[in-house]
Amino acid sequence: MAIPYPHFIASEKAAMDAGLLLPSQPSIILTQDDLKKIAAYKAVEYVESGMVIGLGTGSTAKHAVARIGELLRQGKLKDIVGIPTSRMTHEQALSVGIPLSDLDSHPVIDLAIDGADEVDPYLNLVKGRGGSLLREKMVEGACKKFLVIVDESKLVNYIGGTGLAMPVEVIQFCWKFTASKLQKLFQESGCEAKLRTFGEKKEPFVTDNGNYIIDLYFKASIGDLKVASDSILNLAGVVEHGMFLDMATTVIIAGELGLTVKNK
């Protein structure tokens, strides 16, 4: 996806801050990754010195992590402590100079910044297509403010509306049994449950916690999300699911018309 800059009127400063536009530059083409970067840079404006920050995982969150590291190097931010949501984010944060800790040492987090795979009109989310849903939910559930950064392609009318995966983390033991239970649970929504794999040999994807992921694909709405959540979590073998309900406090959306900020 590429968007001509002249239509991105509302975010000229954001585009400049993200290094995508020079003051004398009349126009550029913004890719989807550019939009993610603009949203991420806007979210980092909420970060203040002395904060404990939850650091998300994925293609959008990586821009926020990089920006926080840049501001630390410039001396514009000080005394930041980062709580990473994955091994990948842990490695990136260390590489850009962000001091790190964990929930044991910091059980209350000032602010978390992360992307999302879907955002519905009520700011409910699908997360975890990158495989880090459990740690993301633990960290982002401990924060005072949770900023979600997305491009407009992630907006849906209902959870599952993209037709893409809603992940469920499960233990490896008898995963087929668990997958069949999950699929049956949402059979009225046309659910198909698939083990997440990777590589040419289709090896099972293993999370940072040593678990598998069953991806659920829906053809229709699954109805009441809280009921769906409880039903999933009540299945033996399920560790966590990728629906983040009533957790986002602010969603920053980068799109063709600029930046939109939605608050809970």
What is the pLDDT at residue 77? 98
What is the pLDDT at residue 25? 52
Q: Which residue has the tokens 């629906």?
A: 243
Tell me whether residue 136 is one of the annotated catalytic residues: yes
Structural domains in the chain plus CATH codes: 32-153+244-256 (3.40.50.1360), 166-237 (3.30.70.260)
| Catalytic residue selected from 12, 48, 91, 136 | 136
What is the pLDDT at residue 17? 67
Q: What is the pLDDT along the chain (264 residues), one digit of tens a residue?
A: 333 333 444 455 565 666 655 455 556 678 888 999 999 999 999 999 999 999 999 999 999 999 999 999 999 999 999 999 999 999 999 999 999 999 999 999 999 999 999 999 999 999 999 999 999 999 999 999 999 999 999 999 999 999 999 999 999 999 999 999 999 999 999 999 999 999 999 999 999 999 999 999 999 999 999 999 999 999 999 999 999 999 999 999 998 778 999 998
What is the pLDDT at residue 7? 41
What is the pLDDT at residue 6? 37
In the chain, the amino acid numbered 155 is: L
φ/ψ (deg, to 5) at 140:
-75, -20
**CA–CA separation, 149 vs 237, rounded Å?**
31
Please calculate the CA angle 111-114-118 and round it to the nearest 5 degrees: 130
Burial group, residue 32, by CB count within 10 angstroms (0-12, 13-18, 19+)? middle
Residues facing 147 on adjacent strands: 113, 250
SS3 34: helix
